[in-house]
Chain A
């Protein structure tokens, strides 16, 4: 299992459109990908669960990835977060 954190820099937080990009990306991997924020957690492959996190600028996300392609998944997701959020 891989674990990493990411602090949101985008003043807009995780919004519907970029959340869509993230969900689309996550669905390309076999691993289970979970995102948590302050006790709430969501499945990165499910758009509603990401939207319901309501993650905002300055907040920290904890990402857990588990599965055969976890290394590739981590790399891609971290890059996507850095590019969009």
Chain B
């Protein structure tokens, strides 16, 4: 444990050094660009520093072939960068770029580079049987578009096809978002009245959002247990109390075995309503009372006020919230994996992303999953583009 902690401390120190080095590098390029020594100095100095670093980290015995090609490449690259700074940038925008650089570098290393690696993976063949060889040599057989064909032809799981998963995902997203918005709207409207204990109600109502999702989902999953869960206990008691209900076909439900998707949906609705409620409440409170007074004088009914005042004025708040909410729901693995993800769990609740997670980390089909992930991303991208075009949803997000 101590060793691990030291590793963390060392990493943070290394990170700080790297940030300082990056800033110094940029600072030199932004301020010294018109000096006569700038081009040769940078093109030779930076590789020299890198060489010193390599010698230091390998204790004086670097691999010669690899080092020479790296230093040579660095010379050329740095020369081009220096040219760019000397003749194009000329010290403009130095402060914002320098302030942005560490975060940007982090995003490039941990989001952009992995995505490029993902594309590389999708055109190669990495699976459980080739992963050992790969981690030794780094070489992978090239297979072209084969993985992409497999996504549509063979199933990512054992029993469900790609198109079933797709339809299920669309259905899941639609039902969840509609319920979140309707439920959130209802609660927000109730809370927006002049009533007592408003603060207390609001506090209690955000609890599902505030709870750690793992706890909430696992606990609710327990409540759907066929014998000891709250819901079936209630159904059983109701049947004891009103026996004639069982003649109508009412009986305890095998939630987790026979209706896993319904169970996940119910749980996710419970979890998601508070967020929408809070967003909508914020929007409602910013609408001036006068609009409603004027409308009431003109004789507008409550429904007309809602349709003609509330909805249009909430649009700038609602549209981005719905856009983001849909994307989050589409990508939501947590609920489904926590409910059905244990060994031998059912596949009847899986949507695209949870199938992706299982294909990658339960069945170890890495390249296949990479191709699958790219297909999913393209689907989501197309759908959101259509939606944004249709709703102009992000307009207000740009302020």
User: A and B, one complex?
Assistant: no
Please give the residue numbers on chain A whose beta carbons come within 8 Å of chain B beta carbons, in ascending order. none
Please give the residue numbers on chain B whose beta carbons come within 8 Å of chain A beta carbons, in ascending order. none
